[in-house]
Structures are given as structure tokens and as C-alpha cells.
A and B are shown apart, each in its own frame.
Chain A
Amino acid sequence: MSNKQNQPQDEKERIGVYVCHCGSNIAGVVDVEDVAVWAKEELGDQGVVVSRDYKFMCSSLGQEMIENDIKEQGLNRVVVAACSPHLHEATFRKACERAGLNPYLSELVSIREQVSWVHTDKEKATEKAKAMVAGGVERVIENEPLEPLRVPIHPATLVVGGGIAGIQAALEIADAGYQVYMVEREPSIGGHMAQFDKTFPTLDCAACILTPKMVSVGEHPNIELLTWSEVERVEGYVGNFSVTVRKRPRYVDTDLCTGCGICWEKCPKKVIDEDFEQGLGYRTAVYTPFPQAVPKYPVIDTESCIFFANGKCKACEKLCPTGAINFDQEEEILLLEVGNIIIATGFDTFDARRIPEYGYGRLANVFTSVEFERMCNAAGPTNGEVVLRDGVTKPEAVGIVHCVGSRDRNYNNYCSVICCMSSLKFAHLVKERTGAEVYNFYIDMRTAYKDYDEFYQRVMEEGVLFVRGRVAEITDATRNPGEEGKLVVQVEDTLAGRQRRIPVDMAILSVGLQPPSDTKEVAQRFGISCSASGWITEKHPKLDPVATMTEGIFIAGAIQGPKDIPTSVAQGAAAAARVLGRINKGEMYLEPIRATVDPEKCSGCRICNNLCPFGAIIFHEDLMVTEINHALCQGCGTCVAACPAGAISGTGFSNEQVLSQIEGLLAYSFPKDFELVEMVPA
């Protein structure tokens, strides 16, 4: 009843073992010749017929060596002992394929990363390398020929989030002629960029460069724009997702509304705009967040609307020239069919109240960077005037504090990337508009990327003062003459090597970026994961930054981690390119590492049923058996490991493969002269 028995006994194994020197990377520590010779002698019974060592197996010559052996020696299994599978597994699989051997009948054993690079004792390292080769050989015997899974790709794409990254992605795909659905939570697209006045380092006006893009999204025949909406549920898998979107009622009939604006001019209810204006300005109960909003249609905020409060008013309804106001509107649930999804849900800013010693929320003239963005914006609450909370006084001295909530183990450990540059931008704007004395309090000045450092130099030349040191506190507790009525920034000037108290009229906190508060739930909804710091995890931090671990779901912009506008745009385009590639191909192939249920063995006990976070496990009540959807299955093997009946098998990592590898790894690891327990009478 051993696990071997119910293995399909195919023809006798003929295995080739190839040990790589990797120059001296491996050969320097592991006696590769010895390993090769040993494999031939010791593993002959397992079917090793060829065993060679070679300087660089991954070189074209090395690969040819394997291909020839497969052809001439009739190898039906190949084990390469070289570097990590994450580097060259694909290489050697292709080599096998070229020689007509199913690529999955090869194994790559990592004797570089796991042996020569981490061990020094040559003898022990060589022993371990042998053991690992043995493990590879035992394992490869159990490998099965596999075919990649083919899935068709639905040509439509869902873009979640209407910030600059999402906008870029949507336009790229739509311009290529494919359907895009853009879902945005707010009443308008535009995201954070729409709040800004100028953009660093070129100082061109954010609205001027953003609005055209927003407009073309709004007008694009291939883009269906769903604002004031949220993704509720995502089902399906790469190629054919079905997405449920909840569209909140605007109480405005968008077919009739012309966006003339009479309603919000006449609306009697004014409230503080906590979102777009960051609490600095006001809006009415029926509103569009800003003049250039796309779509132009307003929404009615039921929280503040008088009618929703006490059933009276309806001023907007009365005055609307096209009768577009409709208080009976109800939320809609839409079902979208898409092949790929791009998530570009952006960022939130750090809540400066969490650092009480900086006084935000306590001291009137401490502002956050976003508040200041609005203040600078010509369309903002102060029409671009830089003034104190009283709304009139121009500051004579302004302190800009970098890294608020960033690079701080008490809050966010990471660097928020954009703050240095935006702080420099603020410094310039303050100078330009008030001529005030400006201090920048920074830990390190980070002005990477094109033209950024030049901007830094320019701002320095404009006479902005820079103090290197982390601000200890901002206080109104005056101590020295000249501090009365001012805010005092207490800071250790690490270049001057002393404590300084710098009196200012206005302090701007350059708050860090952090993932939107509901990112964890969003990630769960889309079946992707978040890093410890809460940003969505990319497939590979360097080589695949816009893909996620889940096929068909891509990310762009700040949701992958703090980044500035150029990078967000680049990522939006990159994600779009990845999606377009798939759409054009019309289908894609997935690694055939999947779990399969043997319906004969499955007893329908349902142990496995709630173990799959991807919903790949389906239970058929009628047949009382469980089935696994291969397109949904991601191949983790959790259900395989859990099935009490051993009815679920996992390709690529089958029990047989793993158990045999363990046998191989251990078979040659012990001194032969091991004392035995005799079955002697007690």
C-alpha cells in the first residue's frame, strides 16, 4: 500500500543529471565533478543514465548538451543542479521542450543559492549538494507531463479608481479600441491631482493638464464611467470576471441634467466641504466637488440636504430648468463582464492629529499639505491667497515640516516619496505669493528623478531656508522675545548641532501617504494581498510591479506604494499595456499547477469546501462530490493537503513528488554504520 503503487508506471526512467559550475559560484565550494560522478554511480538504480558537469548550464552550449542527450540518449527525465528555479526553471524547461520532452519532466535543484553561496565547509556542502540531487532525482521520477491551461480573455476591462493612474490606464485601453468600465467612489473622477494647484517640478497647473484627460474619459465612446459607485463583488477568474457594482443614487437624472449649476447656486444648505476642500471651504447639499468635475452632473448629499432631513425645501427641484432632479432615484446594481481588472485606488493622507505635539487641530495656523494645496488653488477657498486661518493675514514666516507620519516607527515606517518635492513646491509658492520667510524642516532631502534636484536648487536660490532635523514640537508657548503671538518650531538643527526655536506664523505639515483605510477589504474582494504596511503587494517588486499574485488583476499608481504623478501615469500605461497584450492574444496560458478532485474517491465530506479563498472549490449537492475549477485554482495546494480521503491531487507538487524528494534528501544523509534496533525479545 505504498504511495508508489497507484502511480501510473510509465516506461523505465532514463534520467539525465546536469551539475552546473556557474563559473566558480558553485564549483568554488561544491566539488561538482564529484557530485556528477556520484550521481551516475549511486543513482543508477533510480534510472540516472547520464550525469555531467558543465561550466555554465544556462549557456546555449549547456542547453544544447541537454537537448542532445534527450534526443540521443532518449532521456525522459532531466535534473539540473544549478541556481534557483526562480531564475532558470523556465530556461531549462524550454530546453527540454525544444528537444521534444515535456517541460514539466525536468527539475531544477538550487545548489547555488542553497549550498555554495550559504555554506563554507566544502565537504559538507558537497554532501548536501549530493543529497539535494538525489532529492531532485527521486522527485523528477514522480513528475507528470503537464500542459498549460488555456483560458479565453474577455476584451472588456474594469478600472477601479478615477485618479490620474486610472485615467491613464483607461484611456490607453479605450484608445486601443476596447471597452473600459471605470468605477469611481467620488462624484467626479480626477482624484487627488484635481485638488492640486501646481505640479512639481515644472509648476504647470494641475487642472490645465488633468482636465483634458478627464474630459476625454467622460466623452470616450469606449469608456463607461460609473462615478458615485463602488465595486461590491468580484467573481470568476482571469479572462472572465463578473463584477457587481453598486451605483449610489445621485438624485439627479443624468439624461436630463445639463450641469448648468442653477441647483447648487440656489441650494440654501451650505456645509463645510470636508473632502475636496479639506474643511477649508464650503459646498451646498447638491454639488459637484469642483467646477471641472467629470461627469458634470451634481449629486445630492442626503446627509445635509434639507429635504432628506425634514421633507421640505426641494428648491433645486423647483428651479431645475430641465427637471433633472429626482428625489425618488434608487441605487442600481450593475453586473459587468470583464477579462482584466486594473486597481488604481490611490492613497489617503496621514491624519496629522495623530501627532499632537505638532499641534494640528489645536493650533489654528498649523495646516496640512492638502489644505495648503487647496489654499494655493486659484479655484480654492481663498482663491489662491496664502493666508492664516483668520482668512486675511498674510504670513511673514512659514515653516514646512517634512516626513509628518513618514519614516517614523511610531506611525509609518516608509518614506512617502512625494513630500520632499511637494514641500519644495510649497516653499516656492509661499515665496511667490507672500514673500514670507520660509523654513523647510527635513530629515533627508529626497529629490530623485528628472529635473527634481534642479528644482531644489532653484528653490534654494529663491532664498528658502533649510533646517536639517526632525521637528520636536510646534507650540504657541513662547519663551523668548519675538515669539509672542507666533508658532514656535522647536527643532534640533543637526547640521548646526544645536536646538533651535524658530518662530513662524504658519506651519505646513507635509503629511505622508498611506493606503486608503478600506484597502484590506478591497484586496480581499479582489483576491489579492496587502503588504505589512498596507499597500497592495505587486507580483514582483522589480520585475513585475503592476501585476498582482492573482492572474488578471493589475495595479497602478499609489495603491502599490507612494509615488508621484509621472510614475503613477507610467504605471497606469504599463498596466494598460499588460492588459492590451492579453486582449490582443485573446487567450492566455496558465501554469498547470492545479488541484483536481477524483470524484470516485471524494466522499463529499466537505472538509475542503471553505479552504479556498479564490472560490475554486465547488460542491455539487446532487452528486455529493466536490469539484475544483481549474481557472480559479491558484495552485496553493491547501485543499490537497487537507483532503482526508486523499481524493485531491495537486499537479506540480503532488504527494508522490514531495514524499519522494524527502526520501531522496535523506537517503544519503546518514553514516552507513548506524546502530540498529534488533527485534530481540525483551
Chain B
Amino acid sequence: MSDNGKPKFAMYWAASCGGCEIAVLNINEKILDVDANFEVVFWPVAMDAKYKDVEAMPDKSILLTLFNGGIRNEENEHLAILLRQKSQILVAFGSCATEGCIPGLANFSNTDQIYEAVYEGVSTDNPNHIRPQYNYEVPEGTLHIPAFYPALRTLDQVVDVDYYMPGCPPESHQIAAVIDLVLKVLNGEAELPPKGAVIGAGNSTVCDECGRKRHVKSITKFVRIHEVDEIDPELCLLEQGILCNGPATRSGCGARCPGVGAACIGCYGPAEGVIDYGARLMTAVASVIDSNDPDEIDAILEGIPDPAGSFYRFSMPHSLLRMAKPAWSNGNR
């Protein structure tokens, strides 16, 4: 408990887009409850704070830390370790922190390829082919920028995580619900869920919340959404040949995308107990292909031009393989 008696709250933004932060603000007036019940001690996007201030805090002095973003460089890693050490409850907040998300797609490439894209790309003017140097000697001494790691890791691959809150970003109503829960716990009106639990989401998958009609499935052709003249507003997208991640994706979002005729892309991650999101989707989709002939099957699969990208868009770093071979073989140099 702190001086003003309020429990301390922290939020940090590692390798991610910042959408999670916006999502938190999207809870509107609920944010006032946060302010009313918590003392925000560290939230770079919302208030000024220095790492050294955090380092100075006593261990476990922060009650709740919402950590969004993956671990891509030394700085992310340092803060992850630091906040773990200072916090009682560390929540992997949002898809990046829980399973890697879009930044995690970089795990398909090795550092050179990434640098190539970033520093030498068509849109980049870099005649001298300058690449970052982590230590740079100047008369005043050595300049240092955080080292870039060969692959992105999820928060729980770096430190011990108490809860997971999926979503890219987590739906605001779910955030609000979680905050309510924490407040209830503070007032002794509720119990904390068991360690390692996924909070702010459902136990089933998106289809559970999806209003579309569905039947026995048997797929003869995969099409991409722009290849369909007219999407049946009533019918399950997968049954229309559109690769929809709904069946494998944890519920909680309210099936918003399929609701408006856009296929689910899986930002809420795997359902309870699933250890490899992509594999589940892969096996499900393949199982309902309506052919027993290898060539015909391959022909049908032509309709999924980028399986790895479609199945692991959000979960690559948290998949069984975690990264494509180039990422680690490159690390070997």
C-alpha cells in the first residue's frame, strides 16, 4: 500500500503499435475509476516517468501492471524483467504481449532481412547503407541504443506472467470488465482468477458469438474475400470458401469482424488449452476439404496462398516453433 493508500498501477508499451493504450483510453469514463482507485506510478504514454524511478521502487510495490507489446530488444527485455520484479500482478496485455501479434511476423525473417526492409527498402533513402550500431564511440564517451534481438518473444517467454489478456487490441468492454473485477477484488467482493488464466475473454471460440448460419462443412474451393461477387450475409464465411479464423479463435470480441462480413483473422488467439493456434486452424480447415485425391487437395489449397501467414498472423512467437528457421539460423552467426 502506498502513501496515499491507493494501490499502484503501471502500464508499459513494448514492441507493439500502441493500439492497446488507445483501447484503454476507449473505456471512456471508466478511466476515472482507474484514477480514483489507483495511483498511476508508471505509464509512459500517459504521464512522465523515468526508468530510474521504477528501478528505485521497492519490489512488488506495484499492484497491477498491464504490459503490452512483445520483447524485441534489450530495452523491452529490461523493462519486462524490471516490472515483473516491481509488480504483484503482471498482465500480458493484448495480443503482442500474449502471443507476439503482428510484430511477431518478423519471426519469419532474420535480422538481415529485417534491416534490409527497414534501412534499404524502396521507400528509404540510405545511400551510405547506414545500419544501427548499438555502441558508438564519441569524444564524450560511448553512445548506446538497445540491442535488437534475432527474434521477438512474448512476455511469458521472458518473465513469469500472472494473467493473459488477448486481443488486438483487447475490446474496451473487456478491459472495463477486468478493471471492475480488480476493483471488486480490492473491496474483497471477488476472488482473483487462478494464476495463468486468460482474462477479459470467453472460453469458447468466435463462432460461439457469431450470428451466421452454419451447416455441415465441405469445402471445394477457397476464395479470398475480394474474389467473391456477393457474400451471403447470413451464411458462415468458411462455408462460402472464405478462410475465417473464427472456429479456432477465442471468443470475447463479440464476433465483430464476421458480423460485418470480414473474416476473423484470429487476434484473440487460441482457445483455452490450445498450445498451437495455427495447427488447430490448419487441421480444422484441411479436415473439411472435399477431396481424397492428393493433387485435387493441393489444387484446392492453392486458394490459401499464404498458409503460415494466415494461420500464424498473431501467434507465431507463441507457436510451437516460435520463429521460422531463418530467424534462429541467422542468430548463429
Contacts and interface: CB of A to CB of B under 8 A. Distances in A.
B201 to A, nearest CB: 12
B214 A659 contact: no
B283 A645 contact: no
A646 B218 CA distance: 20
Interface in A493-541: none
A457 interface: no
B275 A2 contact: yes
B107 interface: no
Contact of A644 (B205, B215, B218, B328): B205
Interface stretch (B46-54, B143-151, B174-182): B143-151
A644 B283 contact: yes
A619 B275 CA distance: 26
Contacts of A603: 204-208, 210, 246-247, 251
A601 interface: yes
Given A1-B196, A646-B274, A681-B134, A638 B331 contact: no
A550 to B, nearest CB: 21
Contacts of B111: 682
A604 interface: yes
B271 A645 contact: yes
B192 to A, nearest CB: 16
A6 B74 CA distance: 33
B283 A641 contact: yes
Contact of A642 (B151, B207, B283): B283
Given A605-B246, A646-B272, A681-B74, A610 B280 contact: no
Contacts of B149: 679, 681-682
Interface residues of A, number: 35
A209 to B, nearest CB: 46
Interface in A631-672: 638, 641-647, 655, 659
Interface in A520-578: none
Contact of B281 (A2, A606, A644, A681): A644
A3 interface: yes
A42 B270 CA distance: 34
A302 B210 CA distance: 55
Given A604-B214, A605-B246, A645-B280, A682 B204 contact: no
Interface in A322-381: none
Nearest to B270: A646
Interface in B234-285: 236, 238, 246-248, 251, 270-275, 280-281, 283-284
A677 interface: yes
Given A602-B204, A645-B205, A681-B134, A610 B147 contact: no
A642 B284 contact: yes
Contacts of A646: 270-274, 280
Contact of A681 (B147, B203, B284): B147
Nearest to A609: B216
A655 B279 CA distance: 13
Nearest to B250: A645
Nearest to B246: A605
B205 A605 contact: yes
Contacts of B333: 682
A678 interface: yes
Interface size on B, as a range, is 35 or more
B273 A6 contact: yes
A606 B217 contact: yes
Interface in B149-197: 149-151, 156, 164, 196
A300 to B, nearest CB: 42
A272 interface: no
A607 B150 contact: no
Contacts of B216: 606, 609-610, 619
B28 interface: no
A5 interface: yes
Most chain-B CB neighbours within 10 Å: which of A2, A603, A604, A647?
A603
A609 B217 contact: yes
A678 B330 CA distance: 11
A643 B281 CA distance: 8
A349 to B, nearest CB: 31
Contacts of A642: 283-284, 287-288
A680 B204 contact: no
Contacts of A607: 217, 247, 284, 287-288
Contact of B331 (A601, A602, A605, A680): A680
Most chain-A CB neighbours within 10 Å: which of B147, B271, B273, B281?
B273
B148 A5 contact: no
A610 to B, nearest CB: 4
A644 B150 contact: no
B119 to A, nearest CB: 12
Contact of B284 (A2, A602, A643): A643
A610 B304 CA distance: 22
B198 interface: yes
B282 to A, nearest CB: 9
A600 B250 CA distance: 12
A603 B284 CA distance: 13
Given A609-B217, A644-B205, A677 B332 contact: yes
A611 interface: yes
Contact of B203 (A601, A608, A680): A601
Contacts of A608: 287
A600 B203 contact: yes
Interface string B97-126: 000000000000011100100000000000
Contact of A601 (B215, B271, B288, B332): B271
Contacts of B198: 1
Given A601-B271, A603-B204, A682 B148 contact: yes
A641 B286 CA distance: 11
Top-9 shortest CB links A-B? A681-B147, A682-B111, A644-B284, A644-B248, A603-B208, A603-B207, A644-B247, A605-B207, A605-B247
Interface of A: 1-3, 5-6, 600-611, 619, 624, 638, 641-647, 655, 659, 677-682
12 contacts: A1-B275, A5-B273, A6-B272, A601-B204, A606-B214, A638-B287, A641-B287, A642-B287, A644-B248, A645-B274, A646-B273, A647-B271
Given A605-B246, A610-B288, A681-B149, 19 more contacts: A1-B318, A601-B271, A603-B205, A603-B207, A606-B236, A624-B208, A644-B248, A644-B284, A645-B274, A646-B273, A647-B204, A647-B271, A655-B275, A681-B74, A681-B147, A681-B148, A682-B149, A682-B150, A682-B333
Interface of B: 74, 110-112, 115, 134, 147-151, 156, 164, 196, 198, 203-208, 210, 214-218, 236, 238, 246-248, 251, 270-275, 280-281, 283-284, 287-288, 318, 328, 330-333
